[in-house]
Amino acid sequence: MFLDILIKLVRHKFPKTPVISTQKLLYKLDGKEKIFLIDCRSKDEFAVSRIPGAIHLEFNAPFHKIKALLTSHETKSFIVPYCSIGRQYIQELEVGSIDMFNLTWFVGGAITAFLVYCNLPPEWLLPPKNASLKYLKDTQLRKLTDSLYGKKGTIVKAEDLWAKKGAVIMVVRRPGCILCREEALEFMKIKSDLSALDIPLVGIVHEEEGAEEFAKRRIMLTGLLNFRFILKTFGAWRKGVSGNLEGDGSLLGGTFVMGPGSEGVLYEHRETYFGDHVNMTEVLSIAKSLKKTQ
């Protein structure tokens, strides 16, 4: 990798390297540092102003010459390609670490930092905000069951879902999402208990893609790199739950237990990462307490 970098620097005449004066270069040469200086100027320039200790190397030097030149020197010395084209340019490269190159460590560190960021506590990255009854009740919804049977979906207000008996509402992140379908299976396990309490279980989606098979907050790439999401996806796959990639996958879902009339939001779970499922025991407990107050 070092050879490739050096060849690139030589052949492109150091277009982006930091500028350094000849005086500063000579100062470094007079120091105690071991420096292997490669003078990449033209033969005429090299002959007129030869720098002590420098080894001349043409810009168009063949690969085997460059390789031989590098391998003939101590690995702990500094390689300093030098040229003068209008101005003096210097690029220092330490042979001892350049095989891995500092860029490798930088990229590795950046990736590690990004992964750590993706797995910080969700409440740090996307703190959930409580929903209000005033905000929820006037939301207009369309009955998807009508459109599934070829009818035009009836428009209803959200408050109609819980006005009489209350309701347990699952806000689906994406109908085709494998983790959303896994959570829906968990809801089906308590559906009979909710039916016995005469409390409806309702699913709300923001799009129709995948809704037949399934029968706004967002999170982007960081959510896909969250290890909890990866583990939960693998767990759902092992259970045999399938999904698809249709629709907007950046949204987050949640669960609400609504009291009848103006009682409002009795329980709220807002997803903070993909696959952040609600605790079904808590949902059922709130539903039972709701029934007692009716």
Residues 40, 83, 118, 177: which is the catalytic one? Answer: 177
- The pLDDT of 159-181, averaged and rounded, is 81
Query: Does the pLDDT at position 215 exceed 50?
Result: no
pTM: 0.45
Least confident of 13-27, 120-134, 195-209, 213-227: 213-227
Q: CA 53, CA 75: separation in Å to the nearest integer? A: 17
Question: Which tens digit of pLDDT belongs to each residue from 32-54?
Answer: 555 566 666 667 666 666 666 66
Q: Is the model's pLDDT at 210 over the cut of 70?
A: no
Active site residue 177: yes
- Distance between CA atoms of residues 173 and 269, nearest Å: 13
Tell me the pLDDT band of 143, cut-offs 50, 70 and 90. confident
Torsion of CA 73, 78, 83, 84, to 10 degrees: -140
The class (CATH top level) of 128-293 is alpha beta
pLDDT at residue number 39: 65
pLDDT value for 161: 86
Pick the CATH number of 2-99 from 3.40.250, 1.10.3210, 3.30.565, 3.30.920: 3.40.250
Q: Residue 30 and residue 53: Cα distance in Å, rounded?
A: 11
pLDDT (0 to 100) of residue 140: 78
How confident is residue 182, by pLDDT bands cut at 50, 70 and 90? Answer: confident
Residue 122 scores a pLDDT above 70: no
pLDDT exceeds cutoff 80 at 68: no
pLDDT of residue 17: 44
Q: What whole-number distance in Å separates Cα of residue 39 and Cα of residue 84?
A: 9
Domain ranges of the chain: 2-99, 128-293
**Cα separations in angstroms, 258 against 119, 141, 202, 281:** 32, 16, 11, 16
- Per-residue pLDDT for 85 more than 60? no
- Per-residue pLDDT averaged across 72-84, rounded? 52
**Domain 128-293 in the same topology as domain 2-99:** no
The whole-number average pLDDT for the span 179-190 is 81
Judged against a pLDDT cut of 80, whether residue 159 lies above it is answered with yes
Cβ(46)–Cβ(58) below 8 Å: no
The C-alpha atoms of residue 235 and residue 229 are separated, in whole angstroms, by 10
CA atoms within 13 A on the CB side of 55: 15
Is a pLDDT exceeding 60 seen at residue 75? no
Select the more confidently predicted residue: 275 or 267: 267
155-157 vs 140-142, strand pairing mode: antiparallel
With bands split at pLDDT 50, 70 and 90, how would you rate the model's confidence at 97?
very low
pLDDT over 60 at 96, yes or no: no
Among 47-61, 131-145, 257-271, which stretch is predicted with the lowest mean pLDDT?
Answer: 47-61
How does DSSP classify residue 139?
-
Residue 288 has pLDDT above 50, yes or no: yes
Q: Tell me: pLDDT of 179 over 60.
A: yes
Region 155-167: mean pLDDT is: 85
Instruction: Enter the DSSP assignment of 50.
Output: P
Residues 95 and 79 sit within 8 Å (Cβ to Cβ) = yes
Of 284 and 54, the one with more pLDDT: 284
Q: Lowest mean pLDDT of 9-23, 103-117, 258-272, 276-290, name the range.
A: 9-23
H runs (alpha helix) in the chain: 2-11, 22-30, 43-48, 63-71, 95-98, 101-118, 122-125, 133-137, 144-148, 178-196, 211-214, 221-224, 227-238, 280-293
